[in-house]
A and B are shown apart, each in its own frame.
Chain A
Amino acid sequence: MTERGWTLGPKALTAPVRPRGGGRGGIAAIGRQALRTRRGAIGLTLVAIVVLFAVVGPFVAPHPPTALTTIPLSGPSGHAWLGGDFLGRDVWSRLLAGGWALLLLAVLATVLGVAAGTAIGVTAGLLQGKVDSILMRCVDVGLAFPQIVFALLLVSVAGARPWLVVVAVGISHTPQVARVVRAATLDVSEQDYVKVAESNGVSRWRIMMFEIVPNLVSVLMVELGLRLTFSITLIAGLTFIGFGLRPPAPNWGVMINENRIGLTLNPWGVLAPIALIAILTIGMNLLTDAFASAAIGVDRAGDLTLESSPFAAEAVP
């Protein structure tokens, strides 16, 4: 699986979100703006529902997820709200217990990937020259195959253990994040306020920390959102195929796969985890989209030369 792309226009392909952490409170303002839109609010709600479900779930499951409590593939009943899975375990309990691991792995993988990618990207963007070329060559190699293939490769090498999945997925994010962050860094470095600091003799370290990085934050937030969505997809997919978390662990991906056989008898074993994953990813997507739009919007609102009236045409260049 590879990046499914942004939900923004084609410009997003060639230019990153204009990086500005500033503009009336920076990230907090962008976040608030994003949540004010319908998309942002709905997205956040969806994500919150699933996260809550996954986090609280294990503690409120009526039955132990691995216990055989009902007839295999039986339909929903008072005893087992979503019926039994292909072995006879309670689908509902497994559902409640099967989310946190997925989320945890996804979050870890994302953080790893974004951190590594940012480090590489910022370094390449700031130092430029030879270092930049070398780093970007490496990144190009990393971009040369689909992320899932890369993950599979690593998994084939070292076995299918959870921490390995995290590493594999994390590393597979790195090249893309590095590219985006590098482009953003280059863009920010060109800005006049950085030149002001440079001409005042401020040290490169301080410039990076105080002038450049704060302006990368909005880009990073959007990348985090995208990558997290993708990590969830990727890890769910990997566990679905059979790598990563193994049965009898009540992981949603695993559940989907193992209950496929009984699709005609009790679809809930498949549909319920699918629904949760779908809601989570849709919510993440909406949220990220809202955030990205807000970032651009906050930028524009701070731009005094651009009129928002229908007479924008009249504005003299």
Chain B
Amino acid sequence: MTEPAGIRLSVRDLRVELADGGADVVAEVSFDVRAGQTLGIVGESGSGKTTVAHALLGHCRRGLKLASGSVAVNGTDLLAASPEELRRHRSRTVGFVPQDPGKALNPVMRIRRQLNESVAGLADGRDRIPAILADVGLEARPEILNAYPHQLSGGQQQRISLALAFAPQPELIVLDEPTTGLDVTTQRRVLDTIKRLSDSYGVASVYVSHDLAVVAEVADRVAVMYAGRMVELGATRDVLAAPFHPYTRGLLLAAPRPDEASAIEGIPGYPARVGHRPAGCSFRPRCPVAVERCRQTPPPEFVRPDHLVRCFRATEELARVSARYGQHQVLHDVSFEVKEGECLAVVGESGSGKTTLARCVSGLVTDWNGSVRFNGEELARHVRGRDRSVLQAIQYIYQNPYASLNPRKTVHQILAAPVEHFSGRRGTDVTTVIGQALESVALSPQLLSRFPAELSGGERQRVAIARALAVEPSVLICDEITSALDVSVQAAIVHLIHDLQLLKNLTLVFITHNLALLPSVANSVVVLQNGRVVESGDVHSILSAPAMPYTRSLIANAPRLDPPTAPPAPSGHGKPGQSWTTDLRETTT
């Protein structure tokens, strides 16, 4: 009995403020709900979810005011309606199921009278009552109809609330934590009832709750609210299985699961109160991956197909690069993206354009068009147009360690230069930072006074890496950093890079021609051929089951220590972190 899948509810830029002072309680909230669909809104105390729920009926609690935005149900904007229109829409077009039925039912009115009131003015109103009561699992018996609310049990009261909301057959139903406070069995029954009613009446519903588990059961799509904003919105499966926002991840970690033995972890800190929210992203004080940018500006929404996220660190997109280099076009419409904390490998043979790509992205080439987005913001094509913090955040490590270190400077000076440049510090501060950087690449401080000529290739590359790390970047672009090194040294460097990535939650773009390295370091891969993207995706899937012939041939042509005697069998091994040598043996097609 579901209606055609049109959009029933459309909320745009909803903003609710404190009447006194204008501090925002809820802001920039936009979402749609289709007929027959249930949207779950999840949040903790103070997130604004109940405020949003009330706003869907054009109502706000005392002390708040509906400042701007629209709430359109079947096209009619409730926030723009006159008070009479709004009253007419309430209950008829938009229904509400309250949290505490015991308190929400008038204690001096008998149930019958309250039911009659809900269908007053409808043609077949009275006739609907026995049907709706049956739908919620109650009978139209005198004991119930003549009773006062306090004479019913909690479960029965909630069913009456449901009946009152569904009886006028509204287009949209808003449920405000309707099962909080009920015991588990009753909660289960009420949830089933709600699902049944939503399906059979074809309503669109918005289900507000603090309980992720309940929302997971009931909702098709989920919106997560924090400090008055929606920080994530997407299909329930997607959001719960692979959440983008750190808060959502935190919630999932904190949610108790009856069938898992894992300990629950809380999110440290407390949400800030209205009017006391920090500048920039409200979640920053509690966020494990916050960076400087998060302190300065509030993150806008990032929209991926059907999945919306409000976080800088959630995606770091590098997309759509077309580059000309010299006379001919080197890159054709290459696009890819890297998620924060992950490593993307860019693989191709010489001439594929992979280095050009890296150079474009890091702003070392001027003659290209397209866009690069970092932390959601589009970057200037050349470093000169880029923000200092961006320059600091994206560090480049070159292929040739013999060329990337100034031979006239000591290691100390080489390392100190960028640190002093970006931070403006001098002296002992800098020395401390340098010392830590050296330590992280496992080099002894004795090297500080040496010149590059006195170091081996591996040591030099480590110094180059340390130089990049010393300024605390978020992205490392590693351009064939192992190609010029001996095999044994390669392993160590790859291992080092991988460990550093995990330790510092770096985002890596790892350019290489050597496929064999991939399993040790990369999560996803982009395969380039002649300046075009041939294939891209998750490392394990691509390596084990490459779709494109070029990819297959790359993999097949990669030299192996143990030539296969049997036809290659797919495998998904090679988790980053294992030693490189074992990986080489285990890697198959």
- Touch A–B, Cβ below 8 Å: yes
- Residues of A that sit less than 8 Å from B by CB: 307, 309-311, 313-317
Instruction: Say which one of B43-51, B150-158, B445-453, B538-546 lies at the interface with A.
Output: B43-51
A313 partner residues in chain B, CB cutoff 8 A: 50, 61
Decide yes or no whether B274 CB sits under 8 A from chain A. yes
Smallest Cβ distance from B508 to chain A, in angstroms?
41
Q: How far apart sit A138 and B141, CA to CA, in the bound complex (Å)? A: 48
Decide yes or no whether B64 CB sits under 8 A from chain A. yes
Q: Contact: B64 with A315, CB < 8 Å?
A: no
Q: Contact: B25 with A314, CB < 8 Å?
A: no
Smallest Cβ distance from A11 to chain B, in angstroms?
16
B28 partner residues in chain A, CB cutoff 8 A: none
**Cross-chain contact of A311 among B46, B177, B210 (Cβ < 8 A):** B46
Smallest Cβ distance from B162 to chain A, in angstroms?
19
B46 partner residues in chain A, CB cutoff 8 A: 307, 309, 311, 314
Smallest Cβ distance from B47 to chain A, in angstroms?
7
Q: Contact: B180 with A311, CB < 8 Å?
A: no
Extra inter-chain contacts (10) besides given A310-B18, A311-B48, A313-B61, CB under 8 Å: A310-B61, A310-B274, A311-B45, A314-B46, A314-B47, A314-B48, A314-B50, A316-B45, A317-B100, A317-B181
B43 partner residues in chain A, CB cutoff 8 A: 314
With CB as the reference atom, state the residue of chain A lying closest to B19.
A310
B181 partner residues in chain A, CB cutoff 8 A: 317
With CB as the reference atom, state the residue of chain A lying closest to B46.
A311
Q: Contact: B180 with A314, CB < 8 Å?
A: no
B177 partner residues in chain A, CB cutoff 8 A: 316
With CB as the reference atom, state the residue of chain A lying closest to B176.
A313
With CB as the reference atom, state the residue of chain B lying closest to A309.
B273
A315 partner residues in chain B, CB cutoff 8 A: 45
Which B residues from 16 to 73 make CB contacts under 8 A with A? 18, 25, 43-51, 61, 63-64
**Cross-chain contact of A316 among B48, B51, B180 (Cβ < 8 A):** B180
B210 partner residues in chain A, CB cutoff 8 A: 316
Contact A307/B63 with A313-B50, A314-B50, A316-B210 known, Cβ cut-off 8 Å: no
Which B residues from 176 to 229 make CB contacts under 8 A with A? 177, 180-181, 210
**Cross-chain contact of B63 among A310, A314, A316, A317 (Cβ < 8 A):** A310
What are 29 A-B pairs with beta-carbon distances under 8 A? A307-B45, A309-B46, A309-B273, A309-B274, A310-B18, A310-B25, A310-B61, A310-B63, A310-B64, A310-B274, A311-B25, A311-B45, A311-B48, A311-B50, A311-B274, A313-B50, A313-B61, A314-B43, A314-B45, A314-B46, A314-B47, A314-B48, A314-B49, A315-B45, A316-B45, A316-B210, A317-B100, A317-B180, A317-B181
B63 partner residues in chain A, CB cutoff 8 A: 310
A311 partner residues in chain B, CB cutoff 8 A: 25, 45-46, 48, 50-51, 274
A310 partner residues in chain B, CB cutoff 8 A: 18, 25, 61, 63-64, 274
With CB as the reference atom, state the residue of chain B lying closest to A307.
B45
Smallest Cβ distance from A101 to chain B, in angstroms?
50
A309 partner residues in chain B, CB cutoff 8 A: 46, 273-274
A314 partner residues in chain B, CB cutoff 8 A: 43-50
B18 partner residues in chain A, CB cutoff 8 A: 310
With CB as the reference atom, state the residue of chain A lying closest to B43.
A314
Smallest Cβ distance from B97 to chain A, in angstroms?
15
A307 partner residues in chain B, CB cutoff 8 A: 45-46
With CB as the reference atom, state the residue of chain B lying closest to A317.
B181
Q: How far apart sit A315 and B273, CA to CA, in the bound complex (Å)? A: 13
Smallest Cβ distance from A310 to chain B, in angstroms?
5
Q: How far apart sit A310 and B63, CA to CA, in the bound complex (Å)? A: 7
Which B residues from 56 to 109 make CB contacts under 8 A with A? 61, 63-64, 100
**Chain A proximity mask over B273-293: 1 for CB below 8 Å, otherwise 0:** 110000000000000000000
B274 partner residues in chain A, CB cutoff 8 A: 309-311
Q: How far apart sit A317 and B48, CA to CA, in the bound complex (Å)? A: 16
Q: What are the nearest 10 A-B pairs in CB distance?
A: A314-B45, A311-B46, A310-B63, A309-B273, A315-B45, A313-B50, A314-B50, A316-B210, A314-B46, A317-B181
Residue in B49, B210, B273 with the greatest tally of chain A CB atoms within 10 Å:
B273
Q: How far apart sit A316 and B47, CA to CA, in the bound complex (Å)? A: 12
Smallest Cβ distance from B550 to chain A, in angstroms?
55
Q: How far apart sit A32 and B181, CA to CA, in the bound complex (Å)? A: 38
A316 partner residues in chain B, CB cutoff 8 A: 45, 177, 180, 210
Residue in A310, A313, A314, A315 with the greatest tally of chain B CB atoms within 10 Å:
A310
Q: How far apart sit A315 and B49, CA to CA, in the bound complex (Å)? A: 11
Q: How far apart sit A114 and B37, CA to CA, in the bound complex (Å)? A: 65
Q: How far apart sit A151 and B47, CA to CA, in the bound complex (Å)? A: 60
Smallest Cβ distance from B357 to chain A, in angstroms?
48
Q: How far apart sit A317 and B47, CA to CA, in the bound complex (Å)? A: 15
Q: How far apart sit A307 and B270, CA to CA, in the bound complex (Å)? A: 13
Q: How far apart sit A41 and B274, CA to CA, in the bound complex (Å)? A: 31
Q: How far apart sit A189 and B180, CA to CA, in the bound complex (Å)? A: 31
B48 partner residues in chain A, CB cutoff 8 A: 311, 314
Smallest Cβ distance from A112 to chain B, in angstroms?
43
Smallest Cβ distance from A176 to chain B, in angstroms?
30
With CB as the reference atom, state the residue of chain A lying closest to B62.
A310
Q: How far apart sit A314 and B47, CA to CA, in the bound complex (Å)? A: 8
Smallest Cβ distance from B450 to chain A, in angstroms?
60
B180 partner residues in chain A, CB cutoff 8 A: 316-317
Which B residues from 113 to 168 make CB contacts under 8 A with A? none
Which B residues from 480 to 499 make CB contacts under 8 A with A? none
With CB as the reference atom, state the residue of chain A lying closest to B60.
A310
Smallest Cβ distance from A32 to chain B, in angstroms?
25
Q: How far apart sit A317 and B154, CA to CA, in the bound complex (Å)? A: 15
With CB as the reference atom, state the residue of chain A lying closest to B45.
A314
Q: How far apart sit A310 and B181, CA to CA, in the bound complex (Å)? A: 21
Q: How far apart sit A311 and B49, CA to CA, in the bound complex (Å)? A: 10
Smallest Cβ distance from B96 to chain A, in angstroms?
13
Q: How far apart sit A310 and B48, CA to CA, in the bound complex (Å)? A: 10
Q: How far apart sit A184 and B284, CA to CA, in the bound complex (Å)? A: 47
Q: How far apart sit A311 and B16, CA to CA, in the bound complex (Å)? A: 12
With CB as the reference atom, state the residue of chain B lying closest to A310.
B63
With CB as the reference atom, state the residue of chain B lying closest to A315.
B45
Smallest Cβ distance from B44 to chain A, in angstroms?
8
Q: How far apart sit A316 and B210, CA to CA, in the bound complex (Å)? A: 8
Q: How far apart sit A317 and B176, CA to CA, in the bound complex (Å)? A: 13
Smallest Cβ distance from B179 to chain A, in angstroms?
12
Q: How far apart sit A311 and B43, CA to CA, in the bound complex (Å)? A: 12
Q: How far apart sit A317 and B179, CA to CA, in the bound complex (Å)? A: 12
Q: How far apart sit A3 and B180, CA to CA, in the bound complex (Å)? A: 44
Smallest Cβ distance from B182 to chain A, in angstroms?
11
Q: How far apart sit A310 and B17, CA to CA, in the bound complex (Å)? A: 11
Q: How far apart sit A315 and B490, CA to CA, in the bound complex (Å)? A: 56
B45 partner residues in chain A, CB cutoff 8 A: 307, 311, 314-316
Q: How far apart sit A311 and B210, CA to CA, in the bound complex (Å)? A: 14
Q: How far apart sit A313 and B60, CA to CA, in the bound complex (Å)? A: 12
Smallest Cβ distance from A170 to chain B, in angstroms?
42
Smallest Cβ distance from B274 to chain A, in angstroms?
6
Residue in A309, A311, A313, A315 with the greatest tally of chain B CB atoms within 10 Å:
A311
Q: How far apart sit A311 and B63, CA to CA, in the bound complex (Å)? A: 10
B47 partner residues in chain A, CB cutoff 8 A: 314
Q: How far apart sit A310 and B18, CA to CA, in the bound complex (Å)? A: 8
Q: How far apart sit A311 and B61, CA to CA, in the bound complex (Å)? A: 9
Q: How far apart sit A315 and B270, CA to CA, in the bound complex (Å)? A: 13
Smallest Cβ distance from B449 to chain A, in angstroms?
58
Which B residues from 254 to 311 make CB contacts under 8 A with A? 273-274
Smallest Cβ distance from A314 to chain B, in angstroms?
4
Q: How far apart sit A214 and B18, CA to CA, in the bound complex (Å)? A: 40
Q: How far apart sit A314 and B42, CA to CA, in the bound complex (Å)? A: 12
Smallest Cβ distance from A301 to chain B, in angstroms?
15
A317 partner residues in chain B, CB cutoff 8 A: 100, 180-181
Smallest Cβ distance from B519 to chain A, in angstroms?
46
Smallest Cβ distance from B54 to chain A, in angstroms?
9
B51 partner residues in chain A, CB cutoff 8 A: 311
